[in-house]
Homo-oligomer: A and B are copies of this chain.
Amino acid sequence: MTETSQRPAVSDLSEGELLARIFPLLGPATGTVVGPGDDAAVLADHGGPVVVSVDTLVEDHDFRLVRVNGFRTSGYDVGWKSAAQNLSDINAMGGTATALVVSLTLPPQTPVDWVEDCARGLTAAIRGLGATGCSVVGGDLGGGGQLVITAAVTGTLDGRAPVLRSGARAGHTVAVAGTLGRAAAGLAILEDGRPVEDFGSPGEELVAAQLRPYPPLAAGPAAAAAGASAMLDISDGLVRDAGRIATASGVRLDLDPSLLRRYADPLLPAAHLLGVDPMVWVLGGGEDHGLLATFPQDALLPPGFTAVGSVVPGTPQVTLASQATALGGWDHFAD
């Protein structure tokens, strides 16, 4: 936080005053019996099982307020990303989100307008991504040494069975919904010393993909309805996340590089400026929060999904055109 001397900070307000600024920015608490302001929120009865997940973003670990090139991450960006990654977890089970609760840990010098922007970003993501029926229904505010935002999300399956990671079988099609490599390309631009403007408007769009990811929320329930046998959201990179399906299902996932070119080719200009192979972003980059799913041979791929490979028998691993890939070794978390 710099250049904050002219802006009111959260330490200038009481908790109640800060909440009074935030609540109007969250919009109405749709689908609730009791919204924000009591000990807990009460959601309208959706019937059926409840899907629940939690995700955290930490300053200087998951985002940087100011980059080496002077680029500033706004509260809006952080709010958007927090909502998006949580909504994506419900999407990856084949569900639809019903509510978010959000905890903000704020250093005392945090500008009030940064927090207001964060609330706007949460709301904008919920609406912009099409999570109708979902809203921020409660939260927690507190002090800390660095900015931390944790959101927990609930969802419903609308009568469908959840799509797990363990149902991929030999012969099934491997498919992707959403984008691949764009968020990683945006991160590479942000971590480069040059101003973002040097990468032109395509570069700015890649930075936007990193800051405000666009998980395809219609695709998760559509995949579940189409009979997807396994699914997860690609948050840590295609190869690594494909490895998780391979491990959970006891199969090999073979990706077809020729089918992945369509994701790499649009990244060529930025990749050229940065001197990298864009396939590294497509195969190893996370945070796009697209979906990776497998479908039985006879299933029609639902709208938004593109085939990128197939499930084959064998030791659980991920291969590229049947070849072990060095990028497989990039999966350094042994899960």
Binding site for B on A (CB under 8 A): 14-17, 19, 33-34, 38-56, 58-62, 88-90, 92-93, 95, 98-99, 101-103, 105, 137-140, 142-146, 148, 150, 152-155, 157, 162, 164-165, 232-233, 332-335
Give the CA-CA distance A50 to B48 in the complex, in Å: 11
Give the CA-CA distance A154 to B137 in the complex, in Å: 13
- Contact (Cβ within 8 A) A333 B54: no
Q: How far does the Cβ of A158 sit from chain B's closest Cβ, in whole Å? A: 13
Give the CA-CA distance A34 to B153 in the complex, in Å: 15
Give the CA-CA distance A119 to B334 in the complex, in Å: 21
- Contact (Cβ within 8 A) A60 B164: no
Copies of this chain in its oligomeric complex: 2
Give the CA-CA distance A43 to B152 in the complex, in Å: 14
Q: 20 A-B contacts, Cβ less than 8 Å apart? A: A16-B333, A16-B334, A34-B93, A34-B162, A40-B51, A40-B52, A40-B93, A40-B155, A42-B49, A43-B52, A45-B50, A46-B50, A50-B98, A52-B99, A52-B154, A54-B140, A55-B103, A56-B148, A144-B146, A148-B150
Q: How far does the Cβ of A289 sit from chain B's closest Cβ, in whole Å? A: 11
Q: How far does the Cβ of A153 sit from chain B's closest Cβ, in whole Å? A: 8
- Contact (Cβ within 8 A) A14 B56: no
When distances are taken between beta carbons in the complex, the residues of chain B under 8 Å from A99 are 52
When distances are taken between beta carbons in the complex, the residues of chain B under 8 Å from A164 are 34, 38
When distances are taken between beta carbons in the complex, the residues of chain B under 8 Å from A56 are 103, 105, 140, 142, 148, 150
When distances are taken between beta carbons in the complex, the residues of chain B under 8 Å from A42 are 49-52, 93, 157, 162
- Once A15-B335, A38-B232, A103-B55 are accepted as A-B contacts, the answer to whether A48 and B49 lie under 8 Å apart by CB is no
